[in-house]
Amino acid sequence: MRNGNQAKPRQAMLGMTVVILLMLMAYAYGQIVGNPRRGRAVFEQYCTLCHGSDAKGTGPLAKTLPVPPADLTDCRRTAEDPVEVTEGTIRHGGSYVGLSPVMPAWQGKLTDEQIADAASYVKTLCSDPDWVPGELNLPRPLITDKAYPEQEAIVGSRFGRGPSKDTETFGTIEYRINGLTNVELTTNYLNTRPDGGQPHAGLGDSSIALNRVVAFSRENRWLASAGLELGLPTGSHSRGLGSGDLVWQLFARAGWDWRQVVIQGDAILALPQKNADVKSAIAYDVAIGRYFQPDPRMQITPMVEFNSETPLNGPSRGETKSAVLPEIRVKWLQWGAAFGVQVPITGARDFDTRPMFDIFYEFTF
Ligand code: HEC
């Protein structure tokens, strides 16, 4: 037992050495950054046969191929992927990202440096300076809204458990109109069993939102957006499935990736059209987590969210409902799934626990 004390400095030294070695390796790895100018030369020599000298997929071989070569100037195709994924595609061929193997693998034919150079050149081909790059597509929290103009389909459920039971199953389609803007359509199916009341099930309220990035920095890895959401009373008010009113929501969202530690937040001001028995409210959410990337195509992100909502009028005016939500998100290429359990931390609450999950697919057209 006593010996442990003597061994400590040596263990500490060993530990330090390992940490320094790991940092050096990470630094060395980080140094294999491609040079787009050299990459252009690689591209002209090896890639134009199929992709064309304009990189739009118009090379002399293009017509003879079973799959048209990708238009690499299309921001939707090449600005969405982090450079490591583009590099992997060039190294291992199209099948690396689920594309056709007609896109050949260049490992062995090109050096690592040439591959990194070609990848960095491809990443310069999206010519829209307002295209918020895929590097800022931060891991999606279960509740906190994302600033990034996503294009994806999401389905999920939230199981409110306590004296009453409310199960909400939602579907969302998000479409990216341009580099900065997307629209989000959401509808949901509700199953409510109020405490001692009649159970009801049916269509709940729907919403349509416009989200626009107002500022972003690729270098410092942050972005901020603002927008407007309109809640539509598609759920039956008399059966407890909907608000029975149009609800306007003004929102701001932001995200920051600091060395793989990701902080995201939103603030929402909800204003019902006629203020009858629907409350106006202010809500905000914060999510913090860290992502791990065992492979450039994969992202594993444990996160914790803090969700809060305060009614601004009505009998429960000023009565804040807050909850914490530990969760884990796993993403593989365009697919993602998350699971978490939300727990209230204030006396005012709608449930005792609320397990929830979602699944999404990012589509490209
Ligand atoms: C034999 C023809 C051919 C050659 C040569 C070729 N490619 Fe491709 N490449 C393709 C095809 C076809 C696709 C589209 C595959 C699909 O859509 O399923 C593609 C797709 C890609 C993609 C993926 C775009 C996306 O949607 O993410 C990248 C990146 C790429 N090529 C880069 C290169 C680079 C760099 C070179 C030269 C080192 C190169 N290609 C050479 C045929 C070729």
- Does residue 302 line the site of ligand 1, with CB under 6 A? no
Q: What is the pLDDT of residue 3?
A: 47
**pLDDT-based confidence at 8, cuts 50/70/90?**
low
Report which residue type is found at 222: W
The highest-confidence range among 13-17, 146-150, 275-279, 347-351, by mean pLDDT, is 146-150
The rounded mean pLDDT for the chain is: 92
Residues 177, 209: Cα–Cα separation, whole Å: 12
Residues 222, 148: Cα–Cα separation, whole Å: 10
Least confident of 18-22, 73-77, 158-162, 287-291: 18-22
**pLDDT-based confidence at 31, cuts 50/70/90?**
very low
Q: Among 103, 125, 333, say which to mutate for ligand 1: greatest number of ligand atoms within 8 Å of CB.
A: 103
Q: What is the pLDDT of residue 15?
A: 76
pLDDT at position 27 over 60:
no
**pLDDT-based confidence at 26, cuts 50/70/90?**
low
Q: What is the pLDDT of residue 216?
A: 97
Q: Whose CA is nearest to atom 9 of ligand 1?
A: 103
The highest-confidence range among 237-241, 254-258, 273-277, 278-282, by mean pLDDT, is 254-258
pLDDT at position 29 over 50:
no
Residues 365, 362: Cα–Cα separation, whole Å: 10
Bigger pLDDT: 257 vs 275: 257
Cα distances (Å, whole numbers) of residue 338 to 307, 322, 325? 17, 21, 12
**pLDDT-based confidence at 4, cuts 50/70/90?**
very low
- pLDDT, tens only, 83-93: 999 999 999 99
- pLDDT, tens only, 206-230: 999 999 999 999 999 999 999 999 9
Distance 117 CA to ligand 1 centre (A): 15
Q: Whose CA is nearest to atom 8 of ligand 1?
A: 103
Q: Which of 364, 356, 359 is nearest to 158 (CA)?
A: 356
Residues 151, 361: Cα–Cα separation, whole Å: 9
Q: Whose CA is nearest to atom 3 of ligand 1?
A: 50
- Does residue 86 line the site of ligand 1, with CB under 6 A? yes
pLDDT at position 1 over 80:
no
Distance 213 CA to ligand 1 centre (A): 30
Q: What is the pLDDT of residue 244?
A: 86
Distance 188 CA to ligand 1 centre (A): 40
Q: What is the CA radius of gyration of the chain?
A: 25
Q: Whose CA is nearest to atom 25 of ligand 1?
A: 77
- pLDDT, tens only, 257-268: 999 999 999 999
CB 170 within 8 A of CB 155: yes
- Does residue 89 line the site of ligand 1, with CB under 6 A? yes
Distance 85 CA to ligand 1 centre (A): 13
User: To which residue do tokens 């039971």 refer?
Assistant: 165
- Does residue 118 line the site of ligand 1, with CB under 6 A? yes
Q: What are phi and psi of 271, to 5 degrees?
A: -130, 105
Is the dihedral angle over the CA atoms 209, 212, 214, 217 positive or is it negative?
A: positive
pLDDT at position 2 over 50:
no
pLDDT at position 276 over 80:
no
